[in-house]
Structure 1
Amino acid sequence: MTITQPDLSVFETVESEVRSYCRGWPTIFDRAQGSYMYDEDGHTYLDFFAGAGSLNYGHNNPVLKRALLDYLERDGVTHGLDMSTTAKRAFLESFRDVVLRPRDLDHKVMFPGPTGTNAVEAALKLARKVKGREAIVSFTNAFHGMSLGSLAVTGNAFKRAGAGIPLVHGTPMPFDDYLDGQTPDFIWFERLLEDQGSGLNKPAAVIVETVQGEGGINVARAEWLRALADLCERHDMLLIVDDIQMGCGRTGAFFSFEEAGITPDIITLSKSISGYGLPLALTLFKPELDIWEPGEHNGTFRGNNPSFVTAAAALDTYWTDGQMEKQTLARGEQVEQALTAIVQEAGEGAATYRGRGLVWGIEFTDTERASAVCRRAFDLGLLVETSGPQGEVTKLLPALTISPEELDEGLRILARAVRETA
């Protein structure tokens, strides 16, 4: 594809230097539908980025769009703080009946603010309030958000440096297989907890991602997650699962921790919970943890009514019959077959792959190559991003609603991009 460089002057002169994704995809997007985006010059791009996981049901999903348009057309409440509205009621009823009850979860639902980092901040604040302790344990290569509390439990040095102040009250521990299987799981963590001379302040909670998306598509084993849940219970620590990117079906089941058979004390959701790319975040917690005083945690945009409308429509459309989970796992097998061939063609030792459901990554031994693959893929009409502490992983995050044909198309482009950057 031949791309004429667009006039980006207003973005370069008015918008902050902090912008990032637009630098890797130097075009001006105009519209999007399903798994495709289109720029203002008419070029087509197959989207394996999905709004960083916020568009699990694709761009402008017609069922969700219809529900939203109908709501706006009748002048439904757009902004309501935490007032009771018909849109909120419909969402809460759907979430209870479609998500919580079938999984024997009785967690309370809190709307902490519009984004994932708001959900994490509320989770950390509540854990500390409940336990009366300050320390939180996180894991190497974790990513939990860009506000100060979330950054304190995030591993990436570049992102942490942006805080401008010391990030305290967080202690990292090795994620699953961080030490290449050389030590038993949690031996260091448990020794520190039991040793009165370790210097580790007793944690209020442990926060974990079952698959570290920004950290490089690091997949925790089910047995590792079960052992972590057991460790938390034995040492009176709350278990927080950050399911912001991996929840809402990304790994197959609605919650990514279901495969492990664990029940977290606190769960954070955002990104695709609205279903339409609209801002919405949830902090879920067991009823006995609901010790908030009214208004003790609040925010102007903590209950986005248009998001409630599309979220309820997504749950009622995709999560009542079990088909979405089966489809995602089938699509995941399709991706894994293609990545096996891509890695084999790349040559021994050049690359490895890993993932679950419809989140996958190719890690390159040459850490610069992942970025080169993403650039070449963009030239060929595919949107993919990098992840990992050095940007060494090319990350695949297509919509769950992508067709087998679209998935094959994108995987062929990816294979060509890998081949042409060797």
Structure 2
Amino acid sequence: MTSITEATTDMSTFETLESEVRSYCRSFPTIFDKARGYKLWDVEGREFIDFFAGAGALNYGHNNPQIKSKLIDYLTNDHVVHSLDMATVAKEKFLQRFQQVILEPRKMNYKVMFPGPTGANSVESALKLARKVTGRQTVISFTKAFHGMTLGALSVTGNSFKRHGAGVPLHHAVSMPYDNYHDDVDSLSLLERYLEDEGSGLDLPAAIILETLQGEGGINVASNTWLQRIEDICRRWDILLIVDDVQVGCGRTGTFFSFEEAGIQPDMICLSKSIGGYGLPFAITLIQPKLDKWAPGEHNGTFRGHNLAFVAATEALTYWETDKLEREILRKGEILQQALNSMTAKHPDTEPEVRGRGLMQGIAFGQEGFAEKVCAAAFERGLIMETSGPDSEVAKVMPPLIIDDEGLNKGLAILEESIQAAKNTR
């Protein structure tokens, strides 16, 4: 296997001209040129298996040919590309298909809002609307949560490094323990006591926002029981429930929405990343109709209506016309889990713990900096994967959903080799 260290790529342009804020190009120090499916190639022709999938934006793979053909046809026929929130044929088709393929079969009733092209835009819109509708200010979030990099989203994010980047105090949010945050704490009994106690210092919140599986927070999975109890608390206290499905939605855990197995019905749902189908910037906020109290233009933006994303997203929905993809994700998720369990059994000295479900799983290592060494060794061997968790303690496996068994197993073999390589450097 060719090591990337055997040939160099000149990164001087990026080091000289691009801001120091760049991050992924430091983890993957090469210049990428082409991509297809679950593979990428750099300018020197070296092949990489992708266990990163654009941080979850490429569930259907790079340059998906089915979606690409629709985009090419749309562009070559001079259809509208930019339209703010004007009505277009592409938007109409997306709305109709989303209703027919996703909402109606699940007996879900939501209005679709186009808040702007990123997950943070979706979160901001949900927070604003929750406060507008309820007349309250406080929002409850959870330990190790990540909801975005804008001020409202940062206020409900747990990561101290990200929060400090705001440069100003982050107000009107209270963080509570996530499921299994501490063995001796029943997080929801604590939350209920806070709500009941006039002396707790917690004002009745407008909303509770959560991820059913915390990706950036370290692959922490909430149980169905915990999610159901959260919903019950929201209903009893007239609190709105917002589910952030930006990274774990669009099939990442198996079902289209990550919370389907729990049977809950959020008041609002935030979607971005792979809802764009092709890696195109796109986000939507799903709102129960009774909550749709926006005045026209009260939340707007120049890029709410990216018509290329409408086209790509509409075509991507064909994957959900049957349960074939869902069954494949669950099957490959079992392969992934078994492989990770096998790896950790061979390396107990790394203090490993397998976490996650579906095709978002990972290994948390108890030794500081070890996950970063594993991911660096993986890159040298032709595998792209990132760390997650507040201390970058988790080596995260998140391939495109369309990866075949050969690619999945080859990538897992590289990961296992990389764990041993990381141990050899200690």
Q: Residue in 1 aligned with 2:283? A: 281
Distance 1:255 1:101 in 2: 14
Q: Residue in 2 aligned with 1:14? A: 17
Q: Residue in 1 aligned with 2:256? A: 254
Q: Residue in 2 aligned with 1:137? A: 140
What do the CA deviations read for 1:240-288 (whole angstroms, capped 9, x no partner)?
0000000000000000000100000000000000110000000001000
Q: Residue in 2 aligned with 1:203? A: 205
> SS of the counterpart of 1:55?
coil
Q: Structure 2: state its 5+ residue gaps.
A: none
Q: Pairwise mapping of residues 160-199 of structure 1 onto structure 2 (< 5 A)? A: 160-180=163-183, 182-199=184-201
Q: Residue in 2 aligned with 1:227? A: 229
Residue 188 of structure 1 deviates from its aligned partner by: 1.2
Q: Residue in 1 aligned with 2:68? A: 65
Distance 1:104 1:367 in 2: 46
Contact 2:3 / 2:381 at 8 angstroms: preserved in 1?
A: no
The amino acid across from 2:421 in the alignment is E
Distance 2:219 2:248 in 1: 10
**264, 269, 294: which is aligned to 1:292?**
294
Contact 1:5 / 1:26 at 8 angstroms: preserved in 2?
A: no
The amino acid across from 1:23 in the alignment is R
Residue 332 of structure 1 deviates from its aligned partner by: 0.1
Shift in CA distance, 349/40, structure 1 to aligned 2, threshold 3 Å? closer
Residue 7 of structure 1 deviates from its aligned partner by: 1.3
**271, 274, 281: which is aligned to 2:273?**
271
The amino acid across from 2:135 in the alignment is G
Contact 1:35 / 1:402 at 8 angstroms: preserved in 2?
A: yes
What do the CA deviations read for 1:55-112 (whole angstroms, capped 9, x no partner)?
0000000000000000001011100000100000110011000001111111000000
The amino acid across from 1:161 in the alignment is H
Q: Pairwise mapping of residues 21-420 of structure 1 onto structure 2 (< 5 A)? A: 21-180=24-183, 182-316=184-318, 318-347=319-348, 350-420=351-421
Distance 1:217 1:165 in 2: 28
Contact 1:352 / 1:364 at 8 angstroms: preserved in 2?
A: yes
The amino acid across from 2:77 in the alignment is R
Contact 1:185 / 1:224 at 8 angstroms: preserved in 2?
A: no
Residue 348 of structure 1 deviates from its aligned partner by: 5.4
Contact 1:113 / 1:280 at 8 angstroms: preserved in 2?
A: yes
Residue 338 of structure 1 deviates from its aligned partner by: 0.4
Identity %: 57
Residue 201 of structure 1 deviates from its aligned partner by: 1.4
Residue 9 of structure 1 deviates from its aligned partner by: 1.4
Distance 1:340 1:220 in 2: 20
> SS of the counterpart of 2:390?
coil
The amino acid across from 1:32 in the alignment is A
The amino acid across from 1:408 in the alignment is N
Contact 2:245 / 2:269 at 8 angstroms: preserved in 1?
A: yes
The amino acid across from 1:99 in the alignment is I
Distance 2:28 2:181 in 1: 32
> SS of the counterpart of 1:186?
helix
Residue 361 of structure 1 deviates from its aligned partner by: 1.1
Q: Aligned Cα RMSD in Å? A: 0.8
Residue 153 of structure 1 deviates from its aligned partner by: 0.2
Residue 349 of structure 1 deviates from its aligned partner by: 6.2
The amino acid across from 2:141 in the alignment is S
Q: How many residues align?
A: 420
Distance 1:165 1:216 in 2: 26
Distance 2:237 2:59 in 1: 36
TM-score between both structures, scaled by the size of structure 1: 0.99
Residue 185 of structure 1 deviates from its aligned partner by: 4.1
Q: Which runs of 4+ in 1 moved over 4 A?
A: none
Distance 1:362 1:159 in 2: 23
TM-score between both structures, scaled by the size of structure 2: 0.98
Q: Structure 1: state its 5+ residue gaps.
A: none
The amino acid across from 1:390 in the alignment is D
Distance 2:106 2:187 in 1: 28
1:5 aligns with 2:8: yes
